[in-house]
Copies of this chain bind each other. A is one copy, B any other.
Amino acid sequence: MKELATQQALVDSFSKLPGIGAKSAQRMAFAILEMRQEDVLEFAGALKNAATSVHKCPRCGLYCDTASCPVCDDPARDHRTCIVVSMAKDAYAFESLDFKGVYHCLGGLLSPTKGIGAKDLAIEPLLRRVEEEGIEEVILAMNPNLEGETTALFLAKILGEKHVKVTRLGYGLPMGASLEYADSLTLEKALEGRKTL
């Protein structure tokens, strides 16, 4: 008995997801075969919708499934404060907070080793937005690693020539952390960023 072609196609597709190896993909394919038909068709429909109706907002780079961007085209939001993220998914983390400003997605981070330069990212459009849309504060929200830091410093430098306040997320101990297990770099940042009580 050969593997069913239908099943093998499922395994192939599941294997493309992040963190899913051959064994997990196989288990998921079997789960699909055991699932109620309507659930599987719903799943297929959700994927088809995602492939056909979701696009990126040409202004901020976040995902939209409607003609207008739910952030850029919302007059109730504060269009003077803009969080800059590297990937669109990072923006959604701020939405669970009370943040009511807007976003700008770069589409990646500067990386000389991967050959990603300023021209490969949405940096030029960011400068244009700062000039044209009355943005007063740009909050740099890259991940705190080498590429994130490089990108943030680069942006801080070129944004410094514009009339705009540039800030960066605070670094330090994450809430609930234990001093005992904190790495020295984080501890150093926490000490640097200490506040008067």
Main secondary structure of the interface of A (DSSP, over half): helix
Q: Point out the residues of chain B lying under 8 angstroms from A89, CB to CB.
A: 30, 33
Q: Whose C-beta in chain B lies nearest to the C-beta of A29?
A: B50
In the assembled complex, A167 has its CB within 8 A of some CB on chain B: no
**Chain-B contact segment, one of A14-22, A124-132, A142-150, A171-179:** A14-22
Interface string of A8-48 (1 = CB under 8 A from B): 01101100111100001001111111010101111111111
Residues 51-65 of A at the B interface (beta carbon under 8 Å): 51-54, 62-65
B16 touches A35 (CB 8 A): yes
Across chains A and B, which 4 residue pairs bring their CB atoms closest together, nearest first? A40-B51, A44-B47, A9-B46, A13-B43
B6 touches A53 (CB 8 A): yes
In the assembled complex, A4 has its CB within 8 A of some CB on chain B: yes
A10 touches B47 (CB 8 A): yes
In the assembled complex, A133 has its CB within 8 A of some CB on chain B: no
Copies of the polypeptide in the assembly: 2
Interface residues on A, range: 35 or more
A32 touches B19 (CB 8 A): no
Q: Point out the residues of chain B lying under 8 angstroms from A43, CB to CB.
A: 13, 16, 47
Q: Whose C-beta in chain B lies nearest to the C-beta of A5?
A: B65
Q: Whose C-beta in chain B lies nearest to the C-beta of A96?
A: B3
B19 touches A42 (CB 8 A): no
A50 touches B13 (CB 8 A): no
B6 touches A32 (CB 8 A): no
In the assembled complex, A152 has its CB within 8 A of some CB on chain B: no
A1-B71, A7-B54, A65-B4 are contacts. A48–B39 as well, Cβ < 8 Å?
no
Q: Point out the residues of chain B lying under 8 angstroms from A50, CB to CB.
A: 6-7, 10, 29, 32-33, 40
